Copies of this chain bind each other. A is one copy, B any other.
Amino acid sequence: MYLSDHDIRDMPKQYRTNFVNSLSGFKSANLIGTRSQSGCNNLALFSSAVHLGANPALMGIISRPDSVTRDTLTNIRETGYFSLNHVHKDMIEAAHQCAARYPSEVSEFDAVGLTPQTSQHHPAPYVKESHVSIGLKSREIMTIAVNNCYLIIGEIIEVKIENEAIQKDGTIALEAIQTVTISGLDHYHTTRLIHQYNYAKPDRPLSIKK
């Protein structure tokens, strides 16, 4: 089946949103925690976290245009910090409910029944229930001119994680701690490891590590 850019543009709006949101493949599931200047905690579900570099350790998230209220973006602009918290299997209902448009003065933590945890080093709340929580300092908010979205770039300043979740080579055993993955807008999946491979080199066949 072949679809042109015109075919995509002519799709009904919600159908197109579901379709195009599936095209990048499986996505991460993270709750972004922020605190407003007036002290209200905010929690929002993002599937757009992207690795930007290991040294300095940098991650990005995409925020949609601020033509309507975007609490996460506003809070990061005002306070300079955010937290990123992995969604695991037993948290998916609470996480998905965070996508509802609560008023700015309502804390999603209270609304969906998750527990905020404070850091000694920054104002953004962590999600106590998460198995991996990351504190980030905003380094830059870049405007994506073509559609007025934003790439929010954060530098990792602290990580809270269960010791046993880190494998010998440094990789986090995401599957063992039941971190989930998202497809489209609203499908949540667990995973099963096929293989871990060794580093690929041009002059030797690929070998399975695990």
Contact = CB atoms under 8 A, between A and B. Distances in A.
Interface residues of A, number: 111
A40 interface: no
A140 to B, nearest CB: 6
- Of residues A55, A132, A192, which shows the largest number of chain B Cβ atoms within 10 Å of its Cβ? A55
16 contacts: A1-B163, A3-B160, A5-B155, A20-B51, A24-B59, A25-B49, A27-B51, A47-B51, A60-B62, A93-B197, A100-B202, A101-B202, A142-B142, A151-B151, A189-B191, A189-B192
Given A100-B201, A202-B100, A202-B101, A24 B50 contact: yes
Interface of A: 1-5, 8-9, 11, 13-30, 47-60, 62, 64, 84, 86, 89, 92-93, 96-103, 106, 111, 132, 134, 139-140, 142, 144-147, 149, 151, 153, 155-163, 166-167, 169-172, 174-175, 179-181, 183-202, 206, 209
A48 to B, nearest CB: 5
Q: Secondary structure at chain A's binding surface: helix, strand, loop or mixed?
A: mixed
B194 A180 contact: yes
A147 B53 contact: yes
Contacts of A8: 57, 156, 159
A25 B28 contact: yes
Nearest to A29: B25
Nearest to A54: B20
Contacts of A93: 197, 206
Copies of this chain in the oligomer: 2
Contact of A186 (B102, B172, B199): B199
Q: Which of A11, A134, A171 has the largest number of chain B CB atoms within 10 A?
A: A171
B191 A186 contact: no
Given A140-B146, A170-B15, A158 B5 contact: yes
B25 A179 contact: yes
A144 to B, nearest CB: 6
